[in-house]
Amino acid sequence: MGYVMIDYPSLLLPEDPKEARKAFQSLPVQSQLELVLRSRGKERLDTLFLSEHPEELVQALPEQELFLTIKEVGEKDCLDLISLTTPEQFQYLLDIEFWKRDQLDSEKVLHWIEILLESDEKKAVQFIRTADPEFIALILKRFLLVTTLEGEQTESMDRIPLFTLDQYYFIDFKGVKTREVFEPFLKTFYWIDSEGYRSLMEALICELETELEETGYRLRNSRLNDYGFPDFEEALEIYHFINPDTLMKGEGLPAAEAPEALKRESPAYYLTFYGEGPFFSALLSQIDDPQEQDRLKQELTALCNKAIVAEAIALSNLSGMERAIKKVYHYLNVGLQYLSGEDKKKAVEMLRSLPIQKIFQCGVSLTILLRRKAETILKGPWFGGDRENLLLLDPPHFESLEGVLRKRPALYRDGVPDDFKDLQDLKEMERFLESIEGVVYFLGDSLNVSPRSLKEMDWSGCHPEKWQEITLSTIFLTALANRILLGKFQFEAIEKARLNDLFSHLFEREGQGKGVIRMELRNGLREWLSSMENDPQGRGHLVAFQDFCLDLFEEEFGKVPPGEEIDPRFVKGLLIYQPLNK
């Protein structure tokens, strides 16, 4: 179907249930399937069962779409749907749900065997006949202890309340709930395949649980590989650095071609997030060649699958999957914007000629370049490579630098780490890093202040009382206060007794009595600071930092009524000295 799955043909059903059923049944199966895939959750379930032969539509659904429907609606409300699945579809559900990393999830196993038995007796029979015997043995080994009582006295057997179907294999269920679920399952198994039952019992006696689990996990991963979920090491390749400029020139790159065909139909679910990358998605919709559509769809599916695996997200974790898919769109958006210079015609040609994964890697690599810039600042002469020294940064600057220094760089928005979503985000982070680099150079050069000198200071009688409570704004504002009071731009503690004098110079009172920095003083300080930096870009960073600091000062001290004595312990923004005998 290609990308028409984003904008389905205008297929509308009447509101009246009877008319809707009649209209739906008059459509070709392919159109019925399109309507099903266009809907989500309960609406999708209702649409499926408008069909006279819903099993045909259910079994045509991509396995991941089936799984998402069941999770959105709830297993108990999807029993009829589950009963119509193919053995392969049902195995996919169990492969997704049964595992926490490489460990079997006992709670999920009990839950799904219960669902299996409730959905339909035929479904339970189908599962027993089609599932790998090793898989069934793995499931049961966790919950059952099987033994034979050859040679035991009858009275001894009577004392042991074990379950048996053939008076030869005796089963001890590990828990009341376990017996409620697995006793009917075993009865069904024995009824349809007594020989297979005996082989199963022998396996449960002889096989080690660890070996069954290891084999089961390996086979599970092999099956998921058929759906495009690679192993962890292969998935991590999407985060490998590539030089964006080399990619832009197309040097040494293979031409875009369809990836190895997935053995199953790609899910439409990934395409529902296209709004997360507006530039990328808008241009994606301009590709109208069916073969190109199919290639891009296959590539996007493979990329989303790799992202989910690389982020170590459980395939049953819908919110985690959603975050990974959004990340794919965000960095495709960033990468395509950068490579095309936001030229739409050029961007469309790149979608036709470059593998989508390379565009994604370009977006990721641009953030890695930012991290390298941040690492250079951290390892520079001011911070000295000591991450502890980043505590000198003001919030939110501390969080911003910490975010970009992460293994996978993040952009903090309102205190929460997020993806870089477009080129503007990258440019803002680049400006921020240039600003921090310029400010610490200025403070070190003009004030001879560094983390090392702060750690060596005598903080007796000062507030803050230790260097970890000092920030760049405190250093700058204290030096600025000394310039206003003493005519010297220097970092020395301000005597508490001089604070009211400082405030009288800085503040004028607005209507409600709050102190605001005098505008002529702001402008004068800007001119003075600008005169200290020749580079226009550096000058802009310093002026912006001064405004940031003055705003903090105004917020902290502007609300203090004129003449009121300040307790230095409860304010911030200045290094204040209070003699110990006062």
Q: Where are the domains of the chain?
A: 2-225, 232-364, 457-577
Residue ranges of the chain whose pLDDT lies below 50: 1-10, 153-156, 261, 263
Spatial contact of 42 and 73, defined as CB atoms under 8 Å apart: yes
The C-alpha angle with vertex 106 and arms to 102 and 112, in degrees rounded to 5, equals 105
Spatial separation of the C-alpha atoms in residues 472 and 65, rounded to whole Å = 52
Long-range contacts of 33-37 (CB under 8 A, 24+ apart): 33/57, 33/60, 33/61, 34/1, 34/5, 34/8, 34/9, 35/8, 35/11, 36/61, 37/5, 37/8, 37/61, 37/65, 37/268
Determine which helix (DSSP H) or strand (DSSP E) holds 170, and give its type and residue range. Answer: strand 169-173
pLDDT value for 564: 86
pLDDT value for 204: 95
- 533: exposed, middle or buried (Cβ count in 10 Å: 0-12, 13-18, 19+): middle
Give per-residue burial for 31-58: e unless 16+ CB within 10 Å, then b.
Answer: ebbbbbbbebeeebbebbebbeebeebb
pLDDT value for 429: 97
Handedness of CA 345, 349, 352, 354 (dihedral sign): negative
Spatial separation of the C-alpha atoms in residues 181 and 374, rounded to whole Å = 56
pLDDT value for 325: 95
Spatial contact of 270 and 68, defined as CB atoms under 8 Å apart: no
The contacts of residue 305 (CB under 8 Å, 6+ apart) are 227, 228, 229, 230, 235
pLDDT value for 422: 96
pLDDT value for 252: 53
Other CB atoms closer than 10 Å to residue 275's CB: what's the count?
11
Residue 359 corresponds to which tokens in the numbers above? 């565009």
**Mean confidence (pLDDT) of the chain:** 90
Residue 118 corresponds to which tokens in the numbers above? 């409730």
Spatial separation of the C-alpha atoms in residues 582 and 576, rounded to whole Å = 13
pLDDT value for 227: 87
- Residue 260's φ and ψ, nearest 5 degrees, are -55, 125
- Residue 180's φ and ψ, nearest 5 degrees, are -60, -35
* DSSP 8-state code for residue 578: -
pLDDT value for 246: 87
Closest CA to 64 of 34, 89, 40, 35: 89
pLDDT value for 26: 92
* DSSP 8-state code for residue 411: E
pTM as predicted: 0.85
Spatial contact of 232 and 311, defined as CB atoms under 8 Å apart: no
Spatial separation of the C-alpha atoms in residues 147 and 145, rounded to whole Å = 7
